[in-house]
Amino acid sequence: MEQENEELLENIRRSIAGDREAFARIYDCTVRDVTGTVRFLLEDRASAEDVIQEIYIEIYKSLPKFNPARSFRSWVIGIAIRQVNNYRRRRWRLFRLLAKNQQYTSQETEPDFSGEVADRLDSLEVIRLVDNLPYKYKQVIVLRYLYEYSQEEIARILDIPVGTVKSRLHFALEKLRNISYTNAYSLGKAGESHGH
């Protein structure tokens, strides 16, 4: 672990000095987490790819500010989430502008959960339930249960108080339980009515 940390710090130093191969090594060791996070939070795959590029530009520009006392992984995920948030804000402004001009046509896209994220979650049903949560709750669920960050780490990544993390987790889990219970109840009733 210490050797990996030294290699990482060396790659950071070299990247800051302009060594592209060193940054490629940083990319290689972080791309799986970044891609999984972005694809889980954004439904549109093309947009996700654009945001991932923006994330790595931001990581490169921010390397001189990285504090080696922090976890590099959580620092990178924090940048990823901020870039997703920025994208969502830009998209929302565009949506409002288009709506004002009445040129906007709604196009529903199917969520794309291919790749590593889906492999790490228990079932497609869980993914569907989480995907239906409001974005701010989806964020904390992804960080807590997909990446297994502590509530304190989530608070640092999202730059919000720990109490807010706790309340969002509580609300999200309660909402998931209610949705799950309602779906199970509906399926049970449907099965009963077709059974006789």
What CATH class is the domain 121-196? mainly alpha
The residue extents of the domains of the chain are 1-111, 121-196
CA distances from 132 to 41, 139, 141, 173, 191 (A): 11, 12, 12, 12, 24
Query: Do 176 and 130 touch, CB atoms closer than 8 A?
Result: yes
Q: Do domains 1-111 and 121-196 have the same CATH topology?
A: no
Return the pLDDT at 174: 84
- The pTM score is 0.59
- 147-178 confidence digits (pLDDT tens): 788 999 999 989 899 999 999 998 888 887 77
Tokens of 69: 């006392």
- Which architecture, in CATH terms, is 1-111? Orthogonal Bundle (1.10)
